Structure 1
Amino acid sequence: MTTLLNPSSAAVPGPAWLRALARLPLPWLRAAGTALGAVLYVVAARRRAVVRRNLALCFADATPAQRRRWAWETFRHFGQAFVDRIWLWHGSAAQVAQRVRLEGDWPALAQSGPQLLFVPHFVGLDAAWTRLTQAIVRPWAGMYAPQNSPLLDAWVRAGRARFGAPQLVSRREGVRGLARALRAGAAVYLLPDMDLGAAPSVFVPFFGIPAATVTALPRLAALGPAPVRPVVARLDRHGYRVWVGPVWPDYPSGDDVADAQRMNAELQRWIAETPGQYHWLHRRFKTRPPGHAGLY
């Protein structure tokens, strides 16, 4: 069953000033997000260096001016997406449905049984989660990284649980909680494109560079068993476009290395469409194969 508005569509409890800000025109909020991104770009020198290094490694053929533009866009879009949480979590349900447009095979997510979503770290990942849990009434589960600030942690947890009472599994628990949710028939929102160290990973190319890549996607898919669909969220001047792709055929293949390489190859293609919307602030190549020098 699908519905445009989830029955549990109340806004996240919070201060009145957040609810008031949520009613502001989107261009005003995006301007505030741009200002936040500009401040971070200036003061977060170490993160700026990481972004520039990532872009230099992954887009060696681009001009320096192009890479500088993408670096600035990374911070600008990060700031805008952070401010957008105000209306995603404190605005009206109708506002969320209007500004976050679903495209592709999203109605298929209403099918019963376990489903596994590959969601890369584009800036719109919170918008995609909010809209999908609003639009599709079914069990949902996703990984949650606890925040250092208790106030921020409570805000983020409440925001991500706004629609449909999803299960939020702490990263400290690992994939065990996600595996249980998958076995129970949930749609699992998985973000497996970060460097989590050598132990849970295989080294496969990412933009031609050996990158520690976790194998949680094929392993959970086999465990379900569950079909895998990609979800790519793009920020634009109207809000967001969330594309839900078709099921990946012949996945998993039984070869974790081949499956991780396929995941990275698909991700590269999407990143190349909007390089300035990917989460380059993360040190994607911090874990190196034995005998390889550090890149940061």
Structure 2
Amino acid sequence: MGLKLLVGLVWLLSWLPFRAVSALGWVAGQLIASLPSSRRHIGEVNLRLCLPDWTPAQRRRLLRRHFVAMVQMLLEYGYCWFASPERLRRLMRIQGLQHLKALEGRPVILMMPHFTGLDLAGLRISMETPVVSIYSRQKDAWLDEFFRTRRLRLGTGIIFSRQQGTRSVIRALRDGYRLYYLPDQDFGHRDSVFVPFFGVNAATITGLSRMAAVANAAVLPCYPRREADGYTLVIEPALDDFPTADATADAARMNAVIEAQARRQLHQYFWLHKRFKSRLPGEADFYAR
């Protein structure tokens, strides 16, 4: 019942103008940022590792802005789940769509790091091209089914669970779907290499280069940029000479691209995930208290 009430609240918020939801998110985000929590600890550790030249006060201000952006994103899920296609177009503009259109007829992977607005961006790009994406199953059966139906509500994409592996994804790529792929979280040691991210060695999956090689797919980096009256989905040109025969070098290049995107809008990147949880033998746990 609690989950359904929350969904109902988000549905009500979806009727409000974007600026009104932003204002509510600012108030709630400021409050949540001031409360001690495990997520705040994770954010503090990540920012200390990634921005060592910043003062503690500068990092605290950035983390507070990030909490606001995260809460605003959560309150905006009503737009993802319930807004009309016309409203979605107004809320999520696209910059660089020509880079995608130029690859008509070729498999494409849209490399989307974890930024606020990523789900709205995924739904929006599915209005321009058929999209396949990968998701993590929810433990609650009702919530899992709700998320699935909302993501597929426009009839412009397909999704596979992470547990299903990549064969179905590769097949969809070859069938003309474009893969909306989020490769920048710590999934453990399996299928990962350790390469720098903001100067810190991070367990990084090599799925991007492997799938690009198997499907002969172009890789287009992209990210959503939150603005006063909505978002702009920025699609960058395809990566040249990618993938190579060196999966570790490809993973390092991917992280460098994501870092460059994050530095343009640091408060909008996901800092509350244990990005550096997996460590090499003998290395200490960064997040231990």
Distance apart, 1:18 and its partner CA:
5.3
Contact 2:223 2:235 in 1 (8 A): yes
Cα distance in 2 for residues equivalent to 1:168 and 1:42: 37
- 1:118–1:189 contact (8 Å) kept in structure 2: yes
| 1:106, distance to aligned residue in structure 2 (A) | 4.7
Q: Compared with structure 1, are the counterparts of its residues 97 and 124 closer, same or farther at alpha carbon in structure 2 (3 Å cutoff)? A: same
| 2:165 is equivalent to residue 152 of structure 1 | no
Question: Which amino acid in the other structure matches residue 198 of structure 2?
Answer: F
Task: Confirm whether residue 235 of structure 1 aligns to residue 226 of structure 2.
Answer: yes
Shift of 1:117: 1.0
Question: Where does structure 1 differ by over 6 angstroms across 4 or more consecutive aligned residues?
Answer: 14-17
Residue matched to 2:117:
124
SS in 2 for 1:143: strand
CA-CA distance at 1:16 after TM superposition: 7.7
Per-residue deviation, 1:92 = 2.2
TM-score between the two structures when normalised by the length of structure 2? 0.90
Change (3 A) 1:248 1:129: same
How far residue 176 of structure 1 moved from its aligned partner, in angstroms, is 3.0
* 1:270–1:237 CA distance, 2 compared to 1 (3 A): same
RMSD: 2.1
**Partner SS state of residue 112, structure 1:** coil
1:246 aligns with 2:246: no
- Give the alignment of 1:199-278 within 5 angstroms: 199-278=190-269
Which is worse superposed, 68-77 or 108-117? 108-117
SS in 2 for 1:66: helix
Q: Where do 1:14-163 residues align within 5 Å?
A: 19-42=11-34, 45-106=37-98, 108-109=100-101, 111-134=104-127, 136=128, 138-163=129-154
Q: Structure 2 CA distance, aligned partners of 1:64 and 1:166?
A: 44
CA distance in 1, matches of 2:225, 2:149: 23
Give the 3-state SS of the residue equivalent to 1:243 in structure 2. Answer: strand
Contact 1:113/1:186, CA 8 A, preserved across alignment: no
| Alpha-carbon separation, structure 1, partners of 2:26 and 2:148 | 24
Query: What is the CA–CA distance in structure 2 between the aligned matches of 1:16 and 1:209, rounded to whole Å?
Result: 41
1:194-231 CA distance string (max 9 Å, x none): 01011110011111111100000000000101000011
Residues 1:147 and 1:37: Cα distance change in structure 2 (over 3 Å): farther
Instruction: Report the residue type matching 1:223 in the other structure.
Output: V
Structure 1: how far apart are the matches of 2:188 and 2:105? Answer: 34
In structure 1, the residue corresponding to 2:203 is in which secondary structure?
Answer: strand
CA distance in 2, matches of 1:178, 1:222: 13
Counterpart of 1:10?
Answer: none
How far does the alpha carbon of each residue in 1:70-92 deviate from its partner, in whole angstroms, 9 at most, with x for none?
A: 11122111111111111232122
Q: Distance in 2 between matches of 1:38 and 1:169?
A: 36
CA distance in 2, matches of 1:247, 1:88: 27
Q: What is the DSSP-based 3-state SS (H/G/I as helix, E as strand, rest coil) of the residue aligned with 2:110? A: strand
